[in-house]
Chains A and B, each alone.
Chain A
Amino acid sequence: MTNAVNVGIAVQADWENREFIANISLNIRRLFDFLLQFEATTKSKLASLNEKLDVLEHRLEVLEVQVSSVNTAMLY
C-alpha cells in the first residue's frame, strides 16, 4: 500500500516535473521564435534602410557632381 502510494506520489511528482520542463521548453521555443522573428524584422528594416541609403547615395552623388560642375563652371 505504501509502495503504491509512493509510486503514486512519484508519478505525480513526475508529472509536475514534466509539466515544468515542458513549460520551460515551450518558452525556450518561443524565445527561438522570437529571435527568428526579431532577426527577420530587423533585417528587413535594415534592408529598407540600406535602400534608402542607396537612394541617398545616388542623390548625393548627383549633388556632388553638380557642385563640382558648378565649381568648374564658375572658374571659367
Chain B
Amino acid sequence: MPLVRLEVRNEYGLGDPELYRGAFRKEDPKAILDGVAVAGLVGILRQLGDLAEFAADVFHDLHEQITATAGRGRILMTRVRNIESALPSVEKAFKEQTSHIHFAYVAGSDWHARIRVEQSLLLSSELPGFMMDSYEECRDPPRLFLLDKFDHAGTGACLKRYSDPSYFKRTWAASQMQRSETVRKEKKFHIIKRKGSRLRNGKVQHSVYMSQRDCRTMNSDGCTRFTSPSIDGQSLSAENISIADTKLNPEFSSRSTSFGSKTKESYVEQTSYVNPPVAPDELDYNEVPIPNLRSKDSSLCVSVLHDEPTADCLDDVSQHDSLQEQSIPRSSSVTWDEKIEIFKPTSPVSYDDILVDRVQDSEDIVRVEDLELLQVNSIPENIEHAEIESLNQEDILFHPSKSPVALSDVNHFDEVTSETDNYVDAPNTLDSETETETECHTKREVESLSNFSSQGMESRTELSQVMVVQNPNSSDVEVPNSSHSSLNQDVTPDFLHLSSSDGSEHVQSPYDTEFVRNQEHSVVNDFCESNALDTSETKDHECECIDSSHSPKSGTSSSPTMMLAETTAEKSILRHSTFTDVSNAPSIQLWTNGGLFGVEPSKPPEIGVLNMQSKNSISNSINFASDLSSCTVKSQTLVNELDAKSDAKVMQNEPSSVDLRSEMKVDREHSNLDSSIQGSSADDRCSARGYSAVQKSKGSPSFHHSEYDSGVKQDSHGSAETTSQREFEHNPESTCISNGACSSELYMTRNSAASEAPLRANYSTGSRQDGPSQNSMGVSSSFSGLAQRFLANTIQRKALLSTPLGNTNTEIRKPDGTSCLTDSQEASNGVVSQATYEQSTNEKVASISTKEPVSLTSRYSEQSSPPLEYMRISFHPMNGLENPKLKLEFSNGSLHDNSEDFVFPSFQLLQGPVDSLPDVCSDSDDDTFCRSCPYSSEDLLSPRSYSISEQWEQDERSEYIDHESNGVLDKFQSSVISISRSMEFEQLTDSNMNKPGGLEKFDTIVDNSKVPFQSGSTMELPGLDSVLSLRNQQERIHYSAPENLAKVEVQSKDEMPPPPPLPPVQWRTSKSSVTDVTDAITASNFNNLDGLQALRCPSEKKEQHLPRSPFIIGATSPHCNEKQDQQKLNGQKRSTHRVSHKEVDTREDLLHQIRNKSFNLRRTAKSTPSDIPRPTTDATSGNVAAILKKASAIRQAFVSSDEGGDDDSWSDA
C-alpha cells in the first residue's frame, strides 16, 4: 500500500453541493449549471489552498534542511579556517627544525573517529507530517479499559485483547531468542566437531602433500634421500584409507573425500565411473567370501614375504631376556582386543565365534592356541582371519615407524573411542567411519613422523626382528614342501619363506599377522615407556616379546600340520613358556599405559581400522598382482577373468613385468624370486580356480577396482616408502652388526644383499615406470583440455599401467623384507600419483588456460560491450532536450575534462560553434524545474537496439525533430526547450559554416561515439550527434549523397513525409536521438562530401532555416532514391545501349544474354525513377527540385567518370 503523500480531491467534490442543490428545487437548469460551475470554482480555490499549504509544507521542510546544511557548511568553513590559520605556524616550526627524527619517538594521537551510533534512525518522533497526520486523524480505540475491573489479568488486559501493539515486538523477540539459541548450539556442535577433525584434516592434507612432493622428488631424482619413514606410514595409511573407502563404500565415490585433493576426487570419480558393475564390497564381505579369500591368499603370501628379511635379526634378539618382556604380552593382549574389534566390521556375522574366542584369548594366551586350532580346522574362517591379520600385518609394516609416538597414542585413543562405537554399531556406517579412520590414521602417522626421526632406527630394527620371528615358522612349514624347499634352501631363507608361505598360507598368515600386531603394540608400549629405557633394551625387549608371542602360535600352527622342525619347536616351546608367564599381566600394563595418558587404552580399534583398510588395499593389490602373475603364467584364466579392457591393460603391463623379471634374473636370487613369485601366483591362481567362475568375474572387477584404488590413493604416498625401504636395508645390516655373534648373520647378510639387489631392481623398475607414466602424463596433459571424463579415463589407464608394475615389483621384493610390498606399490603408485598429480595440475592449467581465454574474451567482450552500451546510452540523451545541457557544458569547459581522456583531440574544436551558444540553456536545474526533461530522459534511457532496419522510424523521428525545430511543438515544450531549439538552429548554421573542418570532426566524434562516456560527456555528445544528424539530413537533402541515398531509397517507400498527429514530447525527443544514431552510422559516408558541402554551405543554411525542412526531407527522400537509381542507370543506360547495339549487330552469346538481362533490369529500374521524381517534385517545393537536379548532375558526373571504366570492362567482356 503506497503511502499517500497528498490527495488532491476533485474540485467539484471540494465545492459545497449546497451551491447547486437549491437550484434543483427550483428546477432551473441554468441555475443548476451555474451552481455546479461555481462549485467547481470553489473546489479549484480549495485546491489552490491545498496547493499553497502543501507548498508551504514542502518549502518549510526544505528550508529547515537547507538551513541545517548551511549551518554545517558554515561550521566546516570555520573549521577549515582554523586549520588554515594553524597551518602556517606548524609549517614554520617544522621548517625551522633541522632534524625530524624526534617525530619518530613522539607518540601519535589517540584519536579515533567518532563513529556515529547508527541506531534510532527511525524514530516515531521523526515521522513525516503526512504520516503523523494519519495517526492524529485516526480514532482512538474503544474504551475497553472500563472492563478491566472485570478482568483478572489486570489493568490494560482488555485493551490488549482488542489490540496489542506490543504483540509483534514480543513475538519477534521470542523468535530471535530461539534462533540465537539454536545458532549457539549449532556453533558449539561445530566447534566440537572441528576440534577433532581439524588436526586430522590438516595432517592428512599435509601428509598427502608431503607424499606427493616426495613422489615428485623421487621421480625426478633416481636415487633420493632418506626421508622420514613416517611419511611412508602416512602415505600407506592414506592409501589404505582411501582404498577402504572406495571399496567399502561404492557410494563414497560420489562424495568428496576427506582429503579434498582434486586428484583423489578425480580418482574416486573414475572408480565410480569405471567400476559401476562392481557389487558393493560390503556385500562381498558379508555374503560372498570367495573374492575375499583370494585376496587373503595373496595378502598372506605378501605378508609372509615381508616378514622374512628381518626374521634373522629377531632370532638374534629373541634370546635376550629382559624385564620388559612383560610389556610384550600386554601388547599381545591389546592386539587381541583390537582383533576383536577389527573382526566386527569386516565379518560381523560369520566370525562371532572367533571373536568370542579371541576375546577370551586376549585374557589367556592358551586359549589363543585353541583359537588357532580352530582356525586351522576351519579353513574358510582361517582364511578370513588371515585376511584380517594380513591387514594387521601391513599395519605393522608401517606402524612400527609410527607407533613409538606417545602423543599419537593419546590422540589415537581419543579419536578411536567414537570410531569403535561406530564399528560396533554396524558395517552400514562405514562411510563416516572410514573418513574418521583416515583422519585418525593420518594424524597418528604424522605425529609418528616427528617422533620417528629419533626412534626410527629402533622401530625398524624391531620390525626386522618381528620378521625374523616369522622366518623360522615359515621355514618349518616349508620343509615338507619339496618343490619350493629346494630352491629356497639353495638360495636363501627368504625364498624359503616365500615358498613356505605359499604352501601354508592359511596357517601361518594369521600367526604372522598376530605377531606383527603384537609387535606393534609392544612397540607402542615400549615407546610409551621408552623415555626411561635405552633403545637397545627396547629393541631386545620387543624382539623377545614378539618371539614369545609368536612361538606358541607357531607351535600350535605347526602341530596340526605336523611340519615343525625340532629346533624351531624347542624354541617355540621355550618362548611359549615365557610367553604364557608373561601373558597373565599384559592387560594391566597396557592399562597403566592408558592411565599415563588419561585415556582408556582399550581403544586399539584404530589398528583394527587400519588393518581393515590396509587389508582391503593390500588384498586388492595382491589380488591384482596374483592376477598379473597368473596372466603371465597362464593367460587363459586371466582372459576368462578379466574384461577386454583389463586384458589390454594387462598386456600393456606384461612387457614391463617381463623386463623386470629379466633384470631380476641377472642375480640368482632374483631368478629365485621370480620362480617363487610364479609359484605364489600359481597358488593364487589355483585358489582362484577353486572358486566359481562367478567369483572370478567378481574378482576381476575387484581387480580393476584395486588397481584403481591403488593408483588413486597410493599416489600421495609415493616415494616415501622407497626411502623407508632403503632405510630398512640399512637397518637389518646395523642390527646384524650389533648382534654380530648371532647365528643368523649369514641370513642377515644374505638378506641385506638380496634386499639391496632387488631394491636396485625396484628402483630401475621405478625408473621404468616413470617413463611410461610420464608418457601417459604427456598424453594426459595433452588431453587435459578435454572433458573430465576423458581425463578420468586417461588417468585410470595410467593407474592401471603403473599399478600392475608396482604389484609385480612387490612380488619381486617380497624377499627383501618388511615394507617391500608397500614400497613397491608406493613406488609405482608414487609414479602414478605424480602423474596424476601432474595431470591434475595439467587439468587445472588446462582448465585455467581454457578458462582464461574465455575469461579474457569475456572481459574483452564485457569491456567492449559496455562501450556499446555506453554508446547507446550516450546516444539516448541525444534528444533535442539534452542539447542545451550539452551546449552548456561545452561552454563550461567540463567537456574537456571528460572527453580529453577519451579519443577526441578534435573534440575541442567543436567548442567554437558550441561556445557561441548562449548560457540560457545551461541551467542545471532543468530537471528540477522543467518537468518534461526528466521524463524524457527516463524514456530515453530505456535500452533500444538500433539497427539499420529501424532507419525508417529514425528518419521519421528526425522529421519530428525537425518539426520541433520549426517551432511546431514549442507549445508543448518549456520555454527552455524552445530556446534550445532555436539555438540549435544557430548552432547548425555555425557548424555549416565550419563545414570543412567541423564536419570531419563531427564524423570522428560519431565514429568515436562508441567510447564510453562519463556522465558529463554522455549528456554532451548527443547534442553534437543530433546536430550532426540534422546536418546530415540536410546534407542528404541538398547534396543527395549517393551513399545516403541508398538508405533513403529504402526509407522513402515507407515514409509519409508529413505526419499530422504529433506524438508526445518524449517520443519526439527519443526519435531524434535515434536518428542521430543512424546518422552516426552513415556519418562516414559524408566524409566524401565534405568538400562539396563546404562549397555549398551558405546556400544551404538558408534552406535549413526554412520551416518546412523536415517535410522537404520526407519529400526529397524518394527523390533521392530516384536520383540514385538515375545515377546508377545513367551509366548503365549508356553502357546498355552500347551493348544492345553490339548485340543486335554482332553477337548472340550467352554473355550478351546475361547483359541483356542486366540491361533489362536496369531499364526497369530506370523507368521508375523517371516517373517518380516528377510527382514528388510537384508535391514538394521547387527548391527541392533544384537541389535534386544539382545532386543528379553531380551524380551523373561521377557516374560518367565511372562509366568509362565500365564501358571498357563491357567492351572487354
Say yes or no: A39 contacts B40, CB within 8 Å. no
Taking CB atoms, residues of chain A closer than 8 Å to B97 are: 74
List the A residue with the shortest CB-CB distance to B92: A74
Say yes or no: A14 contacts B79, CB within 8 Å. no
B1164 CB-CB contact with A under 8 Å: no
List the A residue with the shortest CB-CB distance to B86: A67
B106 in complex: contacting residue of A35, A64, A67, A73, CB < 8 Å: A73
* Given A58-B113, A69-B109: A10 and B55 interface contact (C-beta under 8 Å): no
B47 in complex: contacting residue of A25, A41, A57, CB < 8 Å: A25
Proximity bits, A38-72, B CB within 8 Å = 1, else 0: 11011101100110010011101111110111111
How far is A29 from B55 in the complex, measured between Cα atoms in Å? 12
* Given A21-B40, A38-B928, A67-B86: A74 and B47 interface contact (C-beta under 8 Å): no
How far is A68 from B62 in the complex, measured between Cα atoms in Å? 37
- CB contacts under 8 Å to A, within B87-114, are 87, 90, 93-94, 97, 102-103, 106, 108-109, 111, 113-114
Taking CB atoms, residues of chain B closer than 8 Å to A76 are: 102, 106
> Chain A contact residues (Cβ within 8 angstroms of B): what range?
35 or more
Say yes or no: B30 contacts A42, CB within 8 Å. no
- CB contacts under 8 Å to A, within B46-65, are 47-48, 51, 54-55, 58, 61-62, 65
Tell me, rounded to whole Å, the shortest Cβ–Cβ distance linking A41 to chain B. 4
* Given A35-B55, A46-B65, A60-B76: A28 and B83 interface contact (C-beta under 8 Å): no
Taking CB atoms, residues of chain B closer than 8 Å to A21 are: 11, 37, 40-41, 43-44
How far is A58 from B111 in the complex, measured between Cα atoms in Å? 12
Say yes or no: B33 contacts A57, CB within 8 Å. no
> Chain B contact residues (Cβ within 8 angstroms of A): what range?
35 or more
Say yes or no: B928 contacts A41, CB within 8 Å. yes
How far is A33 from B51 in the complex, measured between Cα atoms in Å? 10
Say yes or no: B33 contacts A13, CB within 8 Å. yes
Tell me, rounded to whole Å, the shortest Cβ–Cβ distance linking B717 to chain A. 58
Taking CB atoms, residues of chain B closer than 8 Å to A35 are: 51, 54-55, 58
Taking CB atoms, residues of chain A closer than 8 Å to B8 are: 28-29, 32
Say yes or no: B37 contacts A14, CB within 8 Å. yes
- CB contacts under 8 Å to A, within B75-89, are 76, 79-80, 82-83, 86-87
Say yes or no: A34 contacts B83, CB within 8 Å. no
Say yes or no: A7 contacts B29, CB within 8 Å. yes
How far is A33 from B94 in the complex, measured between Cα atoms in Å? 59
Binding site secondary structure of chain B? helix
A25 in complex: contacting residue of B44, B61, B82, B113, CB < 8 Å: B44
Say yes or no: B51 contacts A31, CB within 8 Å. yes
How far is A37 from B5 in the complex, measured between Cα atoms in Å? 12
Say yes or no: A18 contacts B6, CB within 8 Å. no
Say yes or no: A71 contacts B33, CB within 8 Å. no
B1157 CB-CB contact with A under 8 Å: no
Taking CB atoms, residues of chain A closer than 8 Å to B73 are: 53
Taking CB atoms, residues of chain B closer than 8 Å to A69 are: 106, 108-109, 111
How far is A15 from B432 in the complex, measured between Cα atoms in Å? 88
Say yes or no: A41 contacts B927, CB within 8 Å. yes
A24 in complex: contacting residue of B44, B58, B69, B87, CB < 8 Å: B44
List the A residue with the shortest CB-CB distance to B55: A35
Say yes or no: A46 contacts B69, CB within 8 Å. yes
Proximity bits, B1028-1070, A CB within 8 Å = 1, else 0: 0000000000000000000000000000000000000000000
Say yes or no: B62 contacts A46, CB within 8 Å. yes
Taking CB atoms, residues of chain A closer than 8 Å to B72 are: 50, 53, 57
A65 in complex: contacting residue of B11, B55, B76, B109, CB < 8 Å: B109
Say yes or no: A61 contacts B30, CB within 8 Å. no
Say yes or no: A18 contacts B106, CB within 8 Å. no
Tell me, rounded to whole Å, the shortest Cβ–Cβ distance linking B928 to chain A. 4
Taking CB atoms, residues of chain A closer than 8 Å to B87 are: 67
Say yes or no: A74 contacts B113, CB within 8 Å. no
Say yes or no: A30 contacts B62, CB within 8 Å. no
Say yes or no: A11 contacts B62, CB within 8 Å. no
A2 CB-CB contact with B under 8 Å: no
B1027 CB-CB contact with A under 8 Å: no
A68 in complex: contacting residue of B41, B47, B79, B109, CB < 8 Å: B109
Tell me, rounded to whole Å, the shortest Cβ–Cβ distance linking A26 to chain B. 10
B66 CB-CB contact with A under 8 Å: yes
Taking CB atoms, residues of chain B closer than 8 Å to A65 are: 109, 111
List the A residue with the shortest CB-CB distance to B72: A53
Say yes or no: A10 contacts B30, CB within 8 Å. yes
Taking CB atoms, residues of chain A closer than 8 Å to B109 are: 65, 68-69, 72
A63 in complex: contacting residue of B37, B83, B927, CB < 8 Å: B83
Say yes or no: A73 contacts B103, CB within 8 Å. yes
Say yes or no: A39 contacts B58, CB within 8 Å. yes
B36 CB-CB contact with A under 8 Å: yes
How far is A76 from B899 in the complex, measured between Cα atoms in Å? 51
List the A residue with the shortest CB-CB distance to B103: A73
Proximity bits, B234-261, A CB within 8 Å = 1, else 0: 0000000000000000000000000000
- CB contacts under 8 Å to A, within B621-642, are none
List the B residue with the shortest CB-CB distance to A17: B37
Say yes or no: B86 contacts A6, CB within 8 Å. no
* Given A13-B33, A53-B73: A28 and B48 interface contact (C-beta under 8 Å): yes
Say yes or no: A34 contacts B931, CB within 8 Å. yes
A60 in complex: contacting residue of B79, B90, B114, B929, CB < 8 Å: B79
Taking CB atoms, residues of chain B closer than 8 Å to A33 are: 931
Tell me, rounded to whole Å, the shortest Cβ–Cβ distance linking B468 to chain A. 79
Q: Name 13 extra pairs, CB < 8 A, besides A25-B11, A37-B931.
A: A7-B30, A14-B37, A25-B40, A35-B55, A36-B58, A39-B58, A39-B61, A39-B62, A53-B76, A67-B83, A71-B86, A72-B109, A76-B106
Can you list 14 contacts pairing A with B, beta carbon distance less than 8 Å? Answer: A10-B33, A25-B44, A28-B48, A28-B51, A30-B931, A42-B928, A43-B62, A43-B65, A53-B69, A53-B73, A65-B109, A67-B87, A67-B90, A73-B102
- When A and B form their complex, which 5 residue pairs have the shortest distance between CB atoms, in order from nearest? A21-B40, A17-B37, A14-B33, A69-B109, A73-B106
